[in-house]
Structure 1
Amino acid sequence: MKYLIFILGLLVVFGLAFLASNNRKNIKIRPIIVMIIIQIILAYLLLNTGAGLVLIKAISKGFEKLLDYASQGVDFVFGGLANKGQAPFFLTVLLPIVFISVLIGILQYIKLLPLIIKGIGWVLSKVSGLGKLESYNAVAAAIIGQSEVFISVKKQLGHLPKQRLYTLCASAMSTVSMSIVGSYMTMIEPKYVITAIVLNLFGGFIIVSIINPYTVTAEEDFLDVQDSEKQTFFEMLGEYIMDGFKVAIVVGAMLIGFVALMAAINSIVAMIFGISFQTLLGYVFSPIAFIMGVPAGEAIKAGGIMATKLVTNEFVAMLDFSKITSQFSARTIGIVSVFLVSFANFSSIGIIAGAVKGLNEKQGNTVARFGLKLLYGATLVSVLSGTIVGLIL
């Protein structure tokens, strides 16, 4: 049965992407099939093999250590604010972002991270059939963040046609920043966070290849990455510390606003319809949850969590999900967890458009115009990743 649902899921995802395609005749089938096979193999290796288990345990242990180191700095500054035996969300989940941001800065400074990003990007360009810039951007967005990645390619932003700009932005919205991966791992199982990052990387190329197909000529296929301004080591540390702290503050502020707003909306909708707003959204999203492989009896609740991520952000959805995981089967937990690990939500449209506009106003306006189509494609990437996991689990 799960194989039939998987096929149905693929057909629905590809069908929805095809409906939004701007050049259906130019869709290249072969790279799409190759990348789907790669996704299935990688998901199987990560979730169903001993080697995958060892790898995931090693990565999660590494992030646990990083969070432990981060907690020492947090405790030194804020230790007296927490009540004994309690762990405030901001201190334990958000502030460790500062330390992980510093590590990313150090790897950037010693030129190791750019080397890794370019290497993986080159391999991806061979598999996906897309340009070097698109492949570099997809990997870089997953490591340095959806806003920061555009700084590294700002020399080329003004010269990019609409099609290539869409691909860059879709990659940024479909992935998550490495600096907040550790925070996700405190709310959902690390193996699903890691699996989602890998699947979304290929899923972004698959969906873009259908929605936004184009051919990059040899003359256009070059990579001109912006080097960061020359700084001393300690200047760089200061910059990345402040960047990490800003991310933590921004996420914290958004959580306050969105959680409060959801509580208010839930209360109002419950008074009018007798059910919460999330349950109402759950009915809308339940067919999507079902074609991803969620059992029918759990589809409404799972759909409510998925919808929460779309209308708020992944942090709010993960917080809600972590409170009710006992109500779901292991299969549903895996599918929904993978779906949640991306930046595909309405607020990301403004974040990405703002980041591009800060570097090139004309291109920023272009991004704002195709913002909804961007979210549409990035959401299909999350659905595709969840469908792949539904086949494997």
Structure 2
Amino acid sequence: METNGNGSQAYIITNSQLGLELDPKDEKDKNENEPKKRNLIFWKCLVFGVFSGYFLWATIYYVQDLKRLSISDSACSGYGCLMILYIFILYGITYTYIIKPYLEKHVLKFLVYPITSCLKKIKYIDQLFSAAFFLGVFGYLIFDTSDNRSRLMPISGLLVFLLIGFLMSNNKKKIPWHTVLWGLKLQFIFGFITIRWNVGRQIFSCIGDKITTFLHYSQEGAKFVYGDTLVLGEINPETNVRDLGGVFAFSGILTVYFMAFMINILYYYGIMQKVVKVIGEFLQMVMDTTICESVNTAANIFLGMTEAPLLLKPYLKNLTNSEINSIMTSGFATVAGSVMAAYISYGADPAALITASVMSAPAALCFSKMMVPETEEVKITKENVDIVENEYESVLDAASQGVSMGLQIVLGICSSVIAFIAFVAFINGILGWMGILVGFSGENQWSLDLIAGKIFIPVSYIMGVPWEDCEKVGKLIGLKTMINEFVAYKTMGEMNLTGRTKMIATYAICGFSNPGSVGILISAMVALIPHKKQAILKTIYKSFIGGALVCFMTACIASMLYPEIALQ
């Protein structure tokens, strides 16, 4: 406790009170880092100057030789794309060095805070806004589905999944309904932006195409090491084209190396941290969740369940049980960007995969807070948390460690796929033998796929899947839940599905909720916070179920919003 200049007393929370001890060498390190910071600023200015010169050169060329092309037509590639990229970079520099240090606090003080203060004085403002929002959404859906009322079926799915979450809650009286409702609202808002808004859909389609192109560059390195046949597949003798597909271990997942390589470079230069922090602070502001779980959930849009928590490694030991559950639920509900290429190689829509992760992020916070509400004192707040700095010596060190991390991911994926597929084959062998003894053989032979297809038929139906395809989607959900999403997407690529069915299935199985991931996440979290082992083991299965249900909720909203014409 300290005394201010005006004689009043102020309580100051120190790092030592939070259990975050400061290193005695911090001051010395800070002084030693000053020259490095100056050098970094110099190089940033140099790179920005060179890029600005190139942008001016491209602008002159566009005006003189390419003016026949409109900027909007080249927004995804060409000069329009370069202009958008330059505007984003210019805004980032302006915000970092001008708006944030000199203008932001005044805008907050004289504009944002007074408005929010007035709104909070209105009784039941949050409830009234939520009611108006959902009535507006429902009215829009009634109008939009006039030609096909079956698109309203997923409303029942949403209610069923939310009811399951409520019944599984360990403290129903403490459920933060503000967070739950805002999670649903953000799911719908992101859905409208990415699915129904033409510009938003084009943006995400462009992003999906760019990601596909970017990840395909990894094939060049893979072909050099393993050869064309293993990576691209054998040549079809009838068409003389490589259209038979490559070997899974040498084609579908080798982009993990390239993605991990690039992500670590982005972390080294601080780019990924800034992107994640902006999204995390947005989620915290809107949903009233803690900064740690918000930042982790934002990171899960790009990273896997074991990489995202590393952003907050120094603060994990101070997390509450509810925050730990949120971190694990968001890990199960989303997929890492490093493995999306494998799903795309099996025919999954890139834009749908990106949209699914974006929509599932707020829903994961919504569902986790419903199942395990906060009942403890939160120690880490926005005021005393800072994104952990990278520990790499150089950009080459960051890149090489990224590749090493990619190797671990690839080995983990391959080993879990081998083990779980073998185990499922073993169970199917026993079930098949038992079925034959009572007359079930051929197409009716007992297997886990057959059983899962039957069990998940109701789940598929309330997500909006046409009845004739419910068993197929049920089988995909079963494969994803019992083995992993790689096998599910591969099987989906081999199925003959309608556009709507394939879209719903893509969203429903876009998550890491499978037994292999349970083991991976337990090992990673216990290694990071061993004293929280009991809390991790106690909530892991709720997180697993919550992650799966979040994917189903995202599929429900996508099913309602996708018009028939977009799926033809």
Q: Same fold (TM over 0.5)?
A: yes
Aligned length: 391
* One-letter amino acid of the structure 1 residue matched with residue 538 of structure 2: R
d(CA) in 1 for partners of 2:361, 2:213 = 26
Q: What residue in structure 2 maps to residue 362 of structure 1?
A: 531
1:259 CA displacement? 2.8
Q: What residue in structure 2 maps to residue 50 of structure 1?
A: 198
Say which SS state the counterpart of residue 158 (structure 1) adopts: helix
* Aligned positions of 1:21-36 closer than 5 A: 21-36=169-184
Say which SS state the counterpart of residue 93 (structure 1) adopts: coil
Aligned CA distance change for structure 1 residues 50 and 230 (closer, same or farther; 3 Å): same
Relative contact order higher in (CA < 8 Å, ≥ 6 apart):
1
d(CA) in 2 for partners of 1:269, 1:239 = 45
Aligned CA distance change for structure 1 residues 161 and 35 (closer, same or farther; 3 Å): closer
1:3 CA displacement? 5.4
Say which SS state the counterpart of residue 513 (structure 2) adopts: coil
* Aligned positions of 1:237-256 closer than 5 A: 237-256=399-418
d(CA) in 1 for partners of 2:351, 2:313 = 34
The reply to whether residue 196 of structure 1 matches residue 365 of structure 2 is no
The correspondence for 1:320, drawn from 479, 491, 506, is 491
The reply to whether residue 180 of structure 1 matches residue 339 of structure 2 is yes
The correspondence for 2:552, drawn from 383, 387, 390, is 383
Higher fraction of helix: 1
Contact kept, 8 Å, 1:60 with 1:190, in 2: the verdict is yes
Contact kept, 8 Å, 2:179 with 2:289, in 1: the verdict is no
The correspondence for 2:324, drawn from 146, 149, 165, is 165
Q: What residue in structure 2 maps to residue 304 of structure 1?
A: 475
Contact kept, 8 Å, 1:6 with 1:293, in 2: the verdict is yes
* Aligned positions of 1:8-27 closer than 5 A: 8-27=156-175
The correspondence for 1:209, drawn from 369, 393, 403, is 369
Say which SS state the counterpart of residue 142 (structure 1) adopts: coil
1:80 CA displacement? 5.9
Moved more, 19-28 or 102-111: 19-28
The reply to whether residue 79 of structure 1 matches residue 248 of structure 2 is no
* Residue deviations 1:323-346 (CA, integer Å, cap 9, x gap): 11x1x2222211111111111112
* Residue deviations 1:21-51 (CA, integer Å, cap 9, x gap): 1221222334433332332232233233432
* One-letter amino acid of the structure 2 residue matched with residue 176 of structure 1: V
* One-letter amino acid of the structure 2 residue matched with residue 380 of structure 1: L
Q: What residue in structure 1 maps to residue 513 of structure 2?
A: 344
Aligned CA distance change for structure 1 residues 124 and 163 (closer, same or farther; 3 Å): same
Say which SS state the counterpart of residue 227 (structure 2) adopts: helix
1:220 CA displacement? 4.0
Say which SS state the counterpart of residue 505 (structure 2) adopts: helix
Contact kept, 8 Å, 1:138 with 1:201, in 2: the verdict is yes
Moved more, 96-105 or 361-370: 361-370
Q: What residue in structure 2 maps to residue 287 of structure 1?
A: 458
d(CA) in 2 for partners of 1:275, 1:219 = 52
d(CA) in 2 for partners of 1:213, 1:381 = 17
1:4 CA displacement? 4.5
Structure-1-length-normalised TM-score: 0.93
The correspondence for 2:504, drawn from 304, 312, 335, is 335
d(CA) in 1 for partners of 2:503, 2:151 = 17
Aligned CA distance change for structure 1 residues 365 and 347 (closer, same or farther; 3 Å): farther
* One-letter amino acid of the structure 2 residue matched with residue 210 of structure 1: M
Contact kept, 8 Å, 2:301 with 2:358, in 1: the verdict is no
Say which SS state the counterpart of residue 157 (structure 1) adopts: helix
* One-letter amino acid of the structure 2 residue matched with residue 48 of structure 1: R
d(CA) in 2 for partners of 1:48, 1:307 = 30
d(CA) in 1 for partners of 2:256, 2:491 = 21
d(CA) in 1 for partners of 2:561, 2:412 = 36
1:217 CA displacement? 6.3
Contact kept, 8 Å, 1:350 with 1:368, in 2: the verdict is no
* Residue deviations 1:269-291 (CA, integer Å, cap 9, x gap): 23333233211111111111111
d(CA) in 1 for partners of 2:533, 2:490 = 32
Say which SS state the counterpart of residue 130 (structure 1) adopts: coil
d(CA) in 1 for partners of 2:388, 2:376 = 21
d(CA) in 1 for partners of 2:174, 2:423 = 43
Q: What residue in structure 2 maps to residue 140 of structure 1?
A: 299
Say which SS state the counterpart of residue 144 (structure 1) adopts: coil
d(CA) in 1 for partners of 2:186, 2:493 = 30
Moved more, 203-212 or 254-263: 254-263
Contact kept, 8 Å, 1:353 with 1:365, in 2: the verdict is no
Q: Structure 2 regions of 5+ residues with no counterpart? A: 1-148, 236-241, 436-444, 563-568
Contact kept, 8 Å, 2:300 with 2:335, in 1: the verdict is yes
1:75 CA displacement? 0.8
* One-letter amino acid of the structure 2 residue matched with residue 137 of structure 1: N
Larger radius of gyration: 2
Moved more, 261-270 or 119-128: 261-270
* One-letter amino acid of the structure 1 residue matched with residue 255 of structure 2: P
Contact kept, 8 Å, 2:256 with 2:338, in 1: the verdict is yes
The correspondence for 1:118, drawn from 256, 259, 277, is 277
The reply to whether residue 233 of structure 1 matches residue 395 of structure 2 is yes
1:215 CA displacement? 6.7
